[in-house]
Structure 1
Amino acid sequence: ALARRGAVARGRGRAACRARGGRARGGSRRQARGVRHEADLPRVLASNTKLLTTAAALAELGPDFVFETRLLARGEVRDGVLDGDLAVVAAGDPNLSGRFHDGDAFAVFRPWARALAARGIRKVSGDLVLVNGIFEEPRVHPDWPRDQLTTWYEAPIDALSFSDNCVLIRVRPGRGAGSAAVVETVPALPHFRFRNTARTVDKGGRLFVSREDDADVFVVSGTIARRSGPLDVWVAVHDPGAYFAGALRAAFAEEGVELGAGTRPAHGLPEGVWEQVAAHRSDLAATLAVTNKRSQNFYAECLAKLLGYRLEGKGSWTAAAAAVSKVLAGLGVDPAHFRIADGSGLSRGDQASPRAITTLLERMYFHSFGREFVRSLPFSGEEGLAWRRRLADPPYRGNVFAKTGTLSGVSTLSGYAKGATGRVYAFSILCNQVRSNAAAHAAQDRIVRALIDRG
């Protein structure tokens, strides 16, 4: 076990920080007494839940796991026309976007269109079949705040998804004061609709962008200054299947391949003779990094539901929680000390004690996949991330690998801290009933600095 050492602090006001720390030097498993505070009391985790989800995914799937989303075709080709259907078979891959392609949203789909063209296919007369049977509804967890369903962090979870199931809404000023603002989606897709009452004003301006609860109708209101540049807002879509199909058609059209108008969802691949045309593959390491470094809820939920499907036979929230819990128990984390509701921490039902978190961190540090796990975590001072301003001064910069977590009244920080002598400490600081995030962050940072200063 990690040598148990740490420091404890309370947040200001009503903030209660439960803390536990531990130490490792190389492969040592020598026991030692340490300092801890309410280490066995479960607390709301917020995004520290992602540590549980990603550890379970890595331990169960292995670092060499690859998502494979397949494009298949059936039918005869005559004069450049496929007299038949295309099918896309889902793999639960959250990476079908422009994230790893310099922002080119269609980059994943372009090779598919070119593969069809290489077979002499310039038009598909039949349907586009979306084989999407591994994740079950509902797509939005029942615990998630109902007044935030259009935000990027509450995007619906589907096994066949495009661009994190979010679309970029771009608003520009009109020709002059009093004119309507110009609204578009990026990329432009025909099935999206708008209710736009936003107007252009001479100075100032305040815009509001949302979506109707049960349709992909985006509502834009307020004002925008006439000299303003474009304003971009990411909004979660309502219908992931329609979004995926629309994006695929648009990408294929750019490559000179026309798809038929019909789209059919399917739980499994329809009967017939299908031939694989192309596939997109994504690796687990990059997926874990986005999940933890970017704290991307959509990625975490896809991982959790995939584990549910593989271990429990269902891609439901209940199966996901059972699967993650099963893997964690197999790693030696006492199930009495944690409870899983979703994969991201957006649910307040995700709770664990500091002891459970540090036990998991210990097990993963000494795990054969431990290096991959630590690499997936954000580090102190890392540019472009929430960490860039915390613990960013020497000797702390680059020596803390940890996951933050934030909900209303919740601030958490758990991970590893490396002392000057090379000792590595596992720690978990879970603050609930927080009135001030700044005060909670300051308390957490003091604890981590104390660990590093111990050497």
Structure 2
Amino acid sequence: MAKLTPERHLSPQPPSVAARDLVQAPGGIPAADLAAVRPPNAPAVAGRLTPLIGGPGGTINAVVIDAVSRRPIFEQRADRPATPASTTKLATSVAVLASVGPQHRITTRVVRSRGGGVVLVGGGDPTLTALPERPGAGHPPYASLTELAQQTASALKATGRTTGAGRVQVDYDASAYQGPRAAASWKPNYLPDGELAPVSALTVDEGRVSPADPTRNSRVGDPPAAAAAAFARLLTANGVPARAGRQAVAQKGAAQLGAVQSAPVSALVEHLLTESDNDVAEAMARQVAIKLGRQPSFAGGAQAVRQVLARLGVADGVLVNDGSGLSPQNRISPIALARIVSLAAAPERPELRAVITGLPVAGFSGTLSPPRYTVPMSQAGAGVVRAKTGTLSGISTLAGVAYDADGRLLAFAFMAGDGKGTVDPGKLDRLAAAIAACGCG
């Protein structure tokens, strides 16, 4: 089958969370003073956008709202739900930051097993890695499987578990997640094509068969078993001969031999938005479910995300079946996406700021890197627009924020296509650039 979703980087590299707003208003207008800038005139904005929306390139549902007041400035079928593709990740990201919190870290640990071996217990960290840390990689340190093996080997040696006692059996516990490892609504080629690994609470290097080889994107069929095998090899390398065991559930109160933690959720959110990382997005949805006491599954994650959005007042028009947006059955309206982005940009919600700092910068980063925003019709948005992209077959979406030429912060969402024809993502770029170029106050 043809690969229908965009390429993404092989190794996740979430940047550190910025301590300042990365979307700067022209003329250096501080974020706190944005309310003093007059909102744009709605007819003037319509005059800019309407000619661009018409013509070939697929039907577009669109909205532009004032990020301060959240009042609509431009609407075209704004309340009509459409397939959001990866802009679904905006809902997932706001939900996990609002519920779990930006500073939360996910723990992977090793405990004693009943039979005298060890159990590798996954907590759902999608960035756990067996690769060596690269100096200057530009991200907080990932949880290291190598470090966990070193801790475990030292603990076993200290308690008298020596090489003379035979090989240590490494069982694995991935029970932190429940339900199927692939959504029923996903296209069958997603896992074989490496769009993401089978969703599991225990995965190393996102289940990639060759994580150090950027030319290969294939994933293992059983991520927890592969993680246990990798851990057994690392234990052996640290002087404790070991072998991979079987699936198990760690005994309550079992002695802990080692533990490592992920980067903060804020950094994971930044990464999943910048690079549109499906593995991290599905992990974040399940963290929301765990926090709210729901089943950590596709259904439970979707229910938990919407529950948090309802508490925040931005759930209307949101219906999701997964955390990543790969499901063609997801439905979100443009006005819902714009309200979610505006909420994340609100000065009174600093815990959500990683959503804004994680949005790709037009023409510079992530899924908005060149050639996007490098042609004359969209260049006005380069460096000014920050937005999340969404792409499935016959569907293209774009939702984010931009300062207009007067310095007013606007939120927008443009959703094109019905999954049956072709769409032009460049058309959405031109719409966002028109907002940035509009001195329409």
TM-score (norm 1): 0.76
Q: Which residue of 1 aligns with 2:116?
A: 84
Match runs of 1:225-236 below 5 Å: 232-236=215-219
**CA distance 1:415–1:86, shift in 2 (3 Å):** same
In structure 1, distance between residues paired with 2:331 and 2:241: 49
Deviation of 1:328 after TM superposition, in Å, equals: 1.0
* Contact 1:410 1:432 survives alignment (8 Å): yes
1:159 matched to which residue of 2? 201
Please name the residue that 1:442 is paired with: 426
Structure 2: which 5+ residue stretches go unaligned? 1-33
SS in structure 1 opposite 2:414?
strand
Query: Contact 1:46 / 1:348 at 8 angstroms: preserved in 2?
Result: yes
SS in structure 2 of the partner of residue 36 of structure 1: strand
- The residue aligned with 1:50 is 89
Task: Specify whether residues 365 and 165 from structure 1 end up closer, same or farther in structure 2 by C-alpha distance, changes over 3 A only.
Answer: same
Offset from partner CA, 1:316-350 (integer Å, 9 cap, x none): 11111100111111111243x12111111110111
- Give, in angstroms, the shift of residue 147 of structure 1: 3.3
| Equivalent-residue separation in structure 1 for 2:54 and 2:418 (angstroms) | 9
Cα pair distance change 1:338/1:113, threshold 3 Å: closer
CA displacement at 1:453 relative to structure 2: 1.1
Q: Write 1 or 2 for the structure with the bigger share of strand.
A: 1
Contact 1:303/1:343 (<8 A) preserved: yes
Going from structure 1 to structure 2, the CA distance change for 1:107 and 1:54 (only over 3 Å counts) comes to closer
Aligned ranges 1:26-105 → 2 under 5 Å: 28-29=68-69, 34-73=73-112, 84-97=116-129, 101-102=133-134
Q: Indicate the SS of the match to 2:432.
A: helix
Aligned AA (1:102): R
CA distance 1:326–1:231, change in 2 (3 Å): closer
Q: 1:332 to 1:247 in 2, by over 3 A?
A: same
| CA deviation profile, 1:340-389 (whole Å, cap 9, x unmatched) | 11111110111111111111112221123243220111111224644332
1:58 counterpart SS class: helix
The CA distance in 2 between the partners of 1:262 and 1:243, in whole Å, is 9
> Taking structure 1 as reference, are residues 231 and 359 closer, same or farther at Cα in structure 2, changes over 3 Å only?
closer
Match of 2:385 among 395, 400, 406: 400
- Which secondary structure does the structure 1 equivalent of 2:406 belong to? coil
> Contact between 1:116 and 1:122, CA under 8 Å: does it hold in 2?
no
**Which of 3, 8, 21 lines up with 2:64 in the alignment?**
21
**Structure 1 residues 453 and 48: alpha-carbon distance in aligned structure 2, compared to 1, 3 A threshold:** same
Moved over 6 A (4+): 103-107
The 8 Å contact of residues 204 and 227 in structure 2, kept in 1 or not, is answered as yes
Mean CA deviation greater in 2-11 or 353-362 = 2-11
Root-mean-square deviation over aligned CA pairs = 3.0
1:356 maps to which of 305, 319, 336: 336
Residue 128 of structure 2 contacts residue 203 of structure 2 at CA under 8 Å; is this kept in 1?
yes
User: What is the one-letter code of the residue matched to 2:392?
Assistant: L
Asked if structure 1 preserves the Cα contact closer than 8 Å seen for 2:374 and 2:382, the reply is yes
Q: In structure 2, what residue type is equivalent to 1:329?
A: A
**TM-score calculated relative to the size of structure 2:** 0.78
Letter in 2 for 1:307: V
Q: Which runs of 5+ in 1 are unaligned?
A: 76-82, 169-185, 188-229
Correspondence for 2:313: 332
How far 1:99 moved relative to its partner?
7.6
Q: Give the aligned partner of residue 395 of structure 2.
A: 410
